[in-house]
Structure 1
Amino acid sequence: MAVIATVLFAFAAALLGPVGTAWAGSVHNGASQPVYSYTDAIRESVWVDTGTVVDGAPVRVAADIIRPREPAAHGRRIPVIMDASPYYSCCGRGNESQVKTYDANGQPVQFPLYYDNYFVPRGYAVVLVDLAGTNRSDGCEDVGGPLEVAGAKSVIDWINGRATAHSSRTGGTEVKASWADGSVGMIGKSWDGTIANGVAATGVDGLKTIVPISAISSWYDYYRSQGAPLYPGTPADLAGYVEDPATTARCATTQGELAAGAPYSGDWTSFWQQRDYVANADKVKASVFVVHGQQDLNVRTVHFGQWWDALAARGVPRKIWLSQTGHVDPFDYRRSAWVDTLHGWFDHYLMGVDNGIDRQPMADIERAPDQWSTDAKWPAPGTRLTTVHLNPGTLGGSSTNSGTTAFTDDPSRDENAWAADVDRSTPDKTVFSTRALDHDVRMSGSGDLTLTVGSSTTSAHLSAVLVDIGPAAIRNYLGSGEGISTLTTRSCWGEGTPGDTGCFLDTAADTSQVGATVFSRGWIDLGHYASLDHGRPLTPGTPYRMTVHLSPTDHVVPAGHRLALIVAGTDNGLIDPPDTKPTLTVDLSHSELRLPLVGGTGALPAGQQPRAAASQAAPLAVLTGRQPADLR
């Protein structure tokens, strides 16, 4: 299907027919067609009452709208594609950091990304919403909290006639969405997709589908992992990043709440509960198209996994794409297939087109750079959460666990150093490995590791990673593009104007040859052994039992490779260290690893034998160059 579109005026005339004929709309041959003029589209801004008050003043959020002129002239209403973001002025959207631009009268000119260029000619309105406290919206940025969610939700309410909008920030005339049919699809990467999750979790009527890309499902899990701090900052820092200085000065109370509600201790608070969308997954009415990079070390993969599982329990219509990239939009790693698929998704769930996308394979998985497979369901049919036994140096091949192992936290080391030294005995880690596999082993979904651990000090953090040991060409997810390279050529996706061309820099896969690949991770703070509500000091020498949640994955360890579990302390760059430097002793007889194996107990080869450590072996090649987190 061609995706570099132009407005085909002859075809448009054939669809629209001569004056006085019946309305045909934009759908033809099972898909919406680019029959409307992008140049002549209506561009306008409204300010929507959110029903919330900050410092005694009502909060209105700004929404910039672009919609085709022709449907309204024929008395036809159209659906809405909506992206609510805090980044439209401070930081930009997409690989080229596009921001909104306006003419001298304040009317919108550039709508970031390609949604407007591609979908407006096909009969959609595109609405870009400034989250509360950002760009042209009122209020304070509360980072995934009630103000943000209420602001985005209020725009859907306005589109459905349940909220009031105005022609200016200070009031002006009332504006009605008489052009809208009430159907809304929310989309966005990172923070934008996070708000789509949050709004869907309110159960708002009119939201028919969401497409969260690399999105957060619970803000606690963005900043903490089972008590372990992932970042030293607080949501107040993130708010300050997207607000202008004047807004930050006005929002001191909210800033204080953002700092106080997110204790560095890792304790679960009511602040986190307000920002846990998974807890309200039972309210979701919209279909959900989840997209995530399996090597996203910014919005880590726990977010899509727990959201997916909660939606599955609810029976929500779902689709999923999992790439090998880090924090990257599919427009930048699988552009043509992505736009085609998104087009079909919106046509089906917003225009009601029976195009069969709801009957296509549920999952697309990137197996190697630009090589994809599909599955009818996800996790893959035949997946079983399977107990894999642990013995010193050995993974699987036994009917029991036995022995002990110990390691000393070294905060200067990380998962890639551990993987490179998988066959070296080093004091900072312990390794459990299979022998070379005689057949492919696939994992699909989330696993866990229950450990009985004693610490030599009063505090300890623990990391667990699954490693595919063997040569592979993978996307360079730790590079500056997190798996993509940006080229100098451009291609156009839809219609354009001089102020919004619809043309974007092309990309290609950035690849690397490695000898070991970390593909699933988990981190905990042992001080939260009793509850996430309150951490406490450890008693040295006392064993504590905790379960590490391993991040969801869909990975095939090929025949000839080995599967390894590495358990260690601080994973440098991914969690912060504890305030002591403990030695941890693991009682394997009271520990258990469970993996989501396709084929269940028969997936791993039997008869594993312990391997002698190759202490003089050269380190394996792994990726280096981790980049700092950026929620965009």
Structure 2
Amino acid sequence: MTFILKLNILALFTLISISVIAQEKAVPVFKEGEAQVVEDFNTPKKWIRHDLFVETTFDTDGDGKLDRMHVDVTRPYQTDTEGLKLPVIYESSPYYAGVAPDVEGLFWDVKHELGEIGKERVHPEVVRKGNRPIISNSQIATWVPRSYIVVHSSSPGTGLSQGAPTVGGDNESLAPKAVIDWLNGRAKGYTEPYGNEEVKAYWSTGKVGMTGTSYNGTIPLAAATTGVEGLEVIIPVAPNTSYYHYYRSNGLVRSPGGYLGEDIDVLYDYIHSGDESKRAHNNTKIRDTEMKNGMDRITGDYNDFWAGRDYLNDMKPMKAALLMSHGFNDWNVMPEHSYRIYKKAKEMGLETSIYYHQLGHGGPPPVSMMNKWFTHYLHGIDNGIENESNKAWIVREDDKMENPTPYKDFPNPDAEDITLYLTSAAPEVGGLTTTKIPNQNTETLIDNFSFNGEALAKAEITSHRLLYVTPKLSKDIHISGVPKITVKLASSKPAANLSVWLVSLPWNEGRKVKITDNIITRGWADPQNNKSMTNGEPLELGKFYEITFNLQPDDQVIKAGQQIGLMIFSSDKDFTLHPKPGTKLAIDLDGTSLILPIVGGSEAFKDAIFID
């Protein structure tokens, strides 16, 4: 009896021990709809980190073998010791292995006449950073402790990833798709770039979220447009959603802010850090043929080449939830890039929200906001984000990035378009009014790229711009939406730049100037494209043409005491080509107007006009 009793006690003790061990297994923890830091996962020295190569469905480097993408994985050790499966946060980039040096001649020459092309640029080689087993450490410290596995990959033709960079070509969508397929057991991963030893993602639940900034923010959208199963949510930050809109504007050859003379072939050279032995083939096929024949720096027209690099055209299969993030004063990847995709995603019925701030390039949503989106779509926690009545989160001018104001949507549903008309006074400053005054004069400006936009906006008298301002505001005005301008003009040459700035005056200067103080929004267009974006025609000298185009989206409060100014000029020193000064643009004021979306509409605007 004693022996049997001892055996029973031992068995009971064993069962209790097993139960305690089972209870002590590390599991995700959630509070108030967010994944919390789990100390058992917050153990960097114990994280399992390894790299591999995922096979794609394409061969873009011409070696007769399917290209493989270099992938790195960072995961809690419990995914091995306890059989734990977790969702994945994934970032892909062309930048992980370094970029080309900024040498003289890297960018296109912009000092030449419109309709011509500048001197040939140089093609620097990227010196690839070493054969690093870990591609990147971004995202890891934030998300691994919060019960996620973090995955990175180099995009095609960069780093240790095979293939060719195409800057928006199909392979840059299919590459992240292959990685997501591998995470779901539908594609093959290997331990070596040319080996046959397979790697399985046995630790993945198959649910994937993607994020990243700029080019790294473009790739999540690219992956989502394939409709790949398992990609549940994307959070793109300042993504380039159309390379046409990045390097052109309404038919005009226009550089992204800060990179005068950059074009798509420049970016190709900048990121081409892949296998040195494959670069000559890639250069011949992609840069020197496809890009050279399609990018068209002569006319700036929209064509099949650009249409193939516009993700708006590829959104039909997309089903991932979308939290978009952008800055209203991003003059590199301009805010239209995010808005056009957000708008389309809403029309498609996708779960969608947008976070805007008042700064420049970059700026992700607050970690708490991202956490809730990833927690809901990847861990399946019902935290209600899909039922929120507010779809837009906008950081107001004086607030911190982590403190956005919720709105029902962007544009603000309470915004109404008002039309403003011009009154003459050139070369001094004219008026901007809600009342259309007939029989206004035609006013003329003379192009001169040597004066930048700031100098033109500050000038009391100049022949190089036309400026029209509202009366001084007695109350704040809230602009929300996409301003639109119609300009009726004639040119003294067959081609001319057309630039438009909406400014807040008087121009604020000094160390305390905020990015929202002076420039409200901007826009550029080619008058040759007054009828068609795909077929611009030379202007007849002296003939008036009407062209209508959008300015960049904005949501900004213009303070009482300021004046809203519409500035029309020709060459924009920091963005457009620099033709020889002297082109004259005559503006028909009767045929020119500005549509401005104002919260509260015409009543709010009229109420804010200061009356002496």
TM-score scaled to structure 2, two decimals? 0.83
**Map 1:336-355 → 2, pairs under 5 A:** 338-355=366-383
Partner SS for 2:145: helix
Tell me the residue number matched to 1:368: 398
The 1:210/1:292 distance shift into structure 2, 3 A limit, reads same
Cα pair 1:160 1:182 within 8 Å, conserved: yes
The whole-number CA distance in structure 1 between the counterparts of 2:242 and 2:69 is: 23
Structure 1 residue 150: deviation in Å?
1.1
Measured in 1, the distance between the counterparts of 2:362 and 2:530 equals 35
Aligned ranges 1:516-595 → 2 under 5 Å: 517-578=518-579, 581-595=582-596
Could you report, residue by residue, the CA deviation over 1:306-338 in whole angstroms, capped at 9, with x for unpaired residues? 2222222223322323223222334xxxxxx82
Determine the C-alpha separation between the residues in 1 that align with 2:72 and 2:579: 46
Q: Report if the CA contact (8 A) 1:470-1:516 is conserved.
A: no
Give distance in 2, aligned partners of 1:608 and 1:365. Answer: 26
- In structure 2, the partner of 1:230 is 254
Partner of 2:327: 293
Alignment of 1:336-485 (within 5 A): 338-358=366-386, 359=388, 361=390, 362-368=392-398, 370=400, 372-377=403-408, 378-392=410-424, 393-399=430-436, 402-403=439-440, 404-421=442-459, 424-470=460-506
Give runs of aligned pairs for residues 162-173 of structure 1, distance below 5 A.
162-173=186-197
- 2:301 aligned residue (256, 259, 267): 267
Task: Tell me if structure 2 keeps the 8 A contact 1:459–1:580.
Answer: no
Question: Quick one: distance in 2 between partners of 1:72 and 1:47?
Answer: 20
Judged with a 3 Å threshold, the aligned counterparts in structure 2 of structure 1 residues 597 and 117 are, in CA distance, closer, same or farther, namely same
Conserved 8 A contact 2:452-2:572: yes
Residue of structure 1 aligned with 2:21, choices 19, 43, 46: 19
2:139 is equivalent to residue 131 of structure 1: no
Please name the residue that 2:234 is paired with. 210
Distance 1:123 1:518 in 2: 43
Q: For the Cα contact (< 8 Å) 2:327–2:360, is it kept in 1?
A: yes
**AA partner of residue 259 (structure 1):** K
Partner residue in 1 for 2:57: 51
8 Å contact kept, 1:456–1:584: yes
> Structure 1 pair 527/269, CA: closer, same or farther in 2 (3 Å)?
same
Amino acid at match of 1:395: L
Alignment pair present for 1:325 and 2:349: no
- Describe the SS at the equivalent of 2:59: strand
**Which protein has the larger Cα radius of gyration, Structure 1 or Structure 2?**
2
Give the counterpart letter for 1:57 in structure 2. Answer: K
Q: Is the 8 A contact 1:469 1:515 kept in 2?
A: no
- 8 Å CA contact retained: 2:494, 2:540: yes
CA deviation after TM superposition for structure 1 residue 363, in Å: 0.9
Match of 1:306 among 318, 333, 340: 340
The number of equivalent residue pairs is 543
Amino acid at match of 1:80: V
| Matches of 2:322 and 2:597, distance apart in 1 | 23
Does the 8 A contact of 2:243 with 2:264 survive in 1?
no
Q: Secondary structure at the match of 1:283?
A: coil
Offset at 1:402? 4.8
Asked whether the 8 Å contact 1:100–1:111 carries over to 2, the reply is no
Question: Does the aligned pair in 2 maintain the 1:471–1:513 contact within 8 Å?
Answer: no
Residues 77 and 373 of structure 1, relative CA distance in 2, 3 Å threshold: closer
| Alignment CA distance shift 1:515-1:259 (3 Å) | closer
3-state SS in 2 of match to 1:80? strand
TM-score by length of 1: 0.80
Using the TM superposition, give the Cα deviation of residue 410 of structure 1 relative to its aligned residue in structure 2, in angstroms. 1.2
TM-superposed CA distance for 1:29, in Å, is 2.6
Three-state SS of the structure 2 residue aligned to 1:593 is strand
CA contact (8 A) 1:402 1:589 kept: yes
Q: How does 1:480-491 map to 2 (within 5 A)?
A: none
Counterpart in 2 of 1:243? 272
Cα contact 2:242–2:309 (8 A) shared by 1? yes
Q: Match for 1:67 among 61, 72, 75?
A: 75
User: What code does the residue aligned with 1:386 have?
Assistant: I
- 8 Å Cα contact 1:305/1:445 also seen in 2: no
Q: CA deviation at 1:125?
A: 0.9
8 Å Cα contact 2:328-2:358 kept in structure 1: yes
Secondary structure of 2:330's aligned partner: coil
2:137 alignment partner in structure 1: 112
Partners of 1:291 and 1:304 in 2: how far apart? Answer: 7
**Which residue type is aligned with residue 220 of structure 1?**
Y
Asked if the contact 2:476–2:608 (Cα under 8 Å) also holds between the matched residues in 1, the reply is no
> Quick one: distance in 1 between partners of 2:19 and 2:504?
60
Following the alignment from structure 1 to structure 2, what is the Cα–Cα distance between the partners of residues 81 and 513?
34
What are the ranges of 5 or more consecutive residues in structure 2 without an aligned counterpart?
Answer: 1-17, 101-126, 256-260, 425-429
Q: Supply the distance in 2 between the matched residues of 1:187 and 1:363 (Cα, whole angstroms).
A: 18
Q: For residues 519 and 40 of structure 1, do their structure 2 counterparts lie closer, same or farther at Cα, with a shift above 3 Å needed?
A: same
Report what 2:13 is aligned to: none
Distance change >3 Å, CA 609–CA 440, structure 1 → 2: closer
Quote how far apart the aligned CAs of 1:609 are: 10
2:19 & 2:239 partners in 1: Cα distance?
Answer: 43
Q: Report the 3-state secondary structure (helix = DSSP H, G, I; strand = E; otherwise coil) of the residue aligned with 1:586.
A: strand
Q: CA deviation at 1:205?
A: 1.9
* CA distance 1:53–1:401, change in 2 (3 Å): farther
- 8 Å CA contact 2:419, 2:434 repeated in 1: no
Q: Check the 8 A contact 1:459/1:578 in 2, yes or no.
A: no
CA contact (8 A) 2:26 2:78 kept: no
What are the superposed Cα offsets for residues 103-146 of structure 1, whole Å, 9 maximum, x if unpaired? Answer: 9xx643x7332x11121122111111100000010000101111
- Superposition deviation, residue 57 in structure 1: 2.9
- Paired with 2:178 and 2:73, the residues of 1 have a C-alpha distance of 15
Distance 1:562 1:389 in 2: 15
Paired with 1:578 and 1:284, the residues of 2 have a C-alpha distance of: 42
Contact 2:502–2:565 under 8 Å retained in 1? yes
Note closer, same or farther for the CA distance 1:275–1:38 as it changes in structure 2 (3 Å cut): same
Root-mean-square deviation (Å)? 2.8
Provide the residue aligned with 1:10 in structure 2: none
**Larger relative CO (CA 8 A, sep 6+): 1 or 2?**
1
Deviations 1:178-226 (A, max 9, x none): 2111111111111110111222222222111111111111110111011
The whole-number CA distance in structure 2 between the counterparts of 1:580 and 1:534 is 26
Instruction: Quote the Cα distance in structure 2 between the aligned partners of 1:600 and 1:521.
Output: 21
Flag the 1:259–1:101 CA change in 2: closer, same or farther, 3 A.
closer
Structure 1 counterpart of 2:93, which letter? S
| Contact map agreement 1:391 1:401 (CA 8 A) in 2 | no
Aligned residue identity for 2:444? A
For residues 428-451 of structure 1, the C-alpha deviation after alignment (integer angstroms, 9 at most, x for no partner) is 111111111121111112111011
CA contact (8 A) 2:214 2:362 kept: no
Residues 1:152 and 2:186 aligned together:
no
Measure, in 1, the Cα distance between the counterparts of 2:197 and 2:338: 42
Q: Which moved more, 1:301-310 or 1:80-89?
A: 301-310
Question: What secondary structure is seen at the aligned counterpart in 2 of 1:292?
Answer: strand
Contact 1:457 1:580 in 2 (8 A): no
2:513 corresponds to which residue? 512
